[in-house]
Amino acid sequence: MDKVHGITLDIAPSEAFLPPADLAALAPRVSAVAADLAAGRGPGSEYLGWLDLPATISGQHLDSLEAAGVQAQSDCEVCVVIGIGGSYLGARAVLDALGGSAAGAPEIVFAGTGLCTASLRRALAAVKGRDFRLVVISKSGTTLEPAVSFRILRGLLQERYGEEGAAARIDAVTDASRGALRQLADQSGWRTWIIPDDVGGRFSVLTPVGLLPLAMAGVDIRGLVVGAADMREVCLTDDMRANPAHLYAATRFGLYERGFHTEVLATFHSGLATIGEWWKQLYGESEGKEGKGIFPASTVYTTDLHSLGQYVQDGRRNLLETFLVVREDEPAIKVPKDPGGGEGLDGLDYLVGQRLDAINWKAYEGTLEAHGEGGVPCLSLQLDCVTAGAIGGLISLFEKGVAVGGRLLDVNPFDQPGVEAYKRAMFRLLGKPGA
């Protein structure tokens, strides 16, 4: 399998649990599912806009997003992004992976991600005494969590800058023509960006949902899109072994059929922790239906090897593990000589001069070996280094993989009917009219 922006998928450690012949037997089913997706057939096909999105984003659209980013970098110190679920997780995952806002770009703060007072208090503290903007993201504008935060923060913005000044500092990412947020934005004169009708929230990273906040943070959004487009191209092949998205989906499904019903996405790079959070929503909402699906969990190693690592090594054998690892971080940090007084009493002299990321890689290899011997089927997604292109490629791989995987499970990967259950109960308990 050729590398795409330095990404390699290695399924060899899982072969003791899923023999190559059994995996190969799934290839015709994977091909049939992929053909249906490409032709727009099957359940949820009205939400397949993400499939070709990386290759269809125009240069003019990217120009507009980058111009909005330049404006934000010139007039604010903080940009508060208000949204929940797919309306914020993608942007946050990319931003965390790439190390946060670029020099000279505003700090990106997320609000509306829940109903916790402490979370909103942190956002309010971040804008105290600092120039700020709001980016509110919602198809409807009536989702409770972001709507409450937006009402509070919009009031603060108006107090600070007046009604007209506040209007110039609000971007609404919403439906093209419908919904409360669209109506409010049109009435108030806010700048608006469109969420395509055929792209669901958890697949929306490469729409203004993700690209606008990232442009304001000074992220290389063109590199992100190119990485996704290049991975999309590779994942068009019908050769399952040469198609990382199809191979990932087939391997997971084959292991699922053998009783491995929980997947742990384990990264050895702390900056990729939020990629794990985005991945959990993508896979949990897409596959967890009709009593089916692999439960997605995530960990950050080596930190969690000192806690959850015990369970992964010796707990119930219903786990499979996908490692998300990075070979090199720049700039490199090396283990120094003892700065004096210790005379090597910490036992680290054998590591002097070695790069920390090289040591981290050996920790990954040791963990892979130990967990495999402990009865956990393992896969690994290896990145040469973290770049915008690599993260874009990873996003594309995971999105295509979950679409294929959901169809293999015979569920609709593009709806989320179970999400409404808590809302109905919550609104009834809150006394919402008509609930």
With residue 122 as reference, give the H or E element that holds it. helix 117-127
Domain residues for the domain of 282 are: 7-44+225-340+348-408
Q: Is the dihedral of CA 412, 414, 415, 416 positive or negative?
A: positive
Which amino acid type is present at position 191?
Answer: R
Q: Which of 292, 334, 337, 423 is catalytic?
A: 423
Q: What is the pLDDT of residue 102?
A: 97
Q: Select from 222, 242, 276 the last residue of a domain.
A: 222
323 and 352 within one domain: yes
Q: Which of 5, 145, 263, 285 is catalytic?
A: 285
With residue 19 as reference, give the H or E element that holds it. none
330 and 249 within one domain: yes
Question: Is residue 431 assigned to a domain?
Answer: no
Question: Is residue 421 assigned to a domain?
Answer: no
Distance, in Å, from the CA atom of 6 to the CA atom of 44, rounded to the nearest integer, reads 32
With residue 84 as reference, give the H or E element that holds it. none
Q: Which of 306, 330, 343, 420 is catalytic?
A: 306
| CA proximity to 220, closest of 384, 390, 381, 382 | 390
Distance, in Å, from the CA atom of 364 to the CA atom of 430, rounded to the nearest integer, reads 48
Q: What is the pLDDT of residue 144?
A: 94
**What is the separation of C-alpha 187 from the centre of its chain, rounded to a whole number of angstroms?**
33
230 and 199 within one domain: no
3 in Cβ contact with 229 (< 8 Å): no
275 and 146 within one domain: no
Quote the tokens at residue 27. 């290839």
213 and 247 within one domain: no
Active site residue 285: yes
Q: What is the pLDDT of residue 379?
A: 98
232 and 91 within one domain: no
369 and 254 within one domain: yes
What are the average pLDDT values for consecutive 10-residue runs of the chain, which has 435 residues?
A: 90 97 98 98 96 96 98 98 96 98 98 95 97 97 95 97 97 96 97 97 98 98 98 97 98 98 98 98 97 98 97 98 94 90 83 96 98 98 97 98 98 92 87 86
User: Three-state SS for 42?
Assistant: coil
Q: What is the pLDDT of residue 418?
A: 87
- Could you tell me the pTM of the whole model? 0.96
393 in Cβ contact with 245 (< 8 Å): no
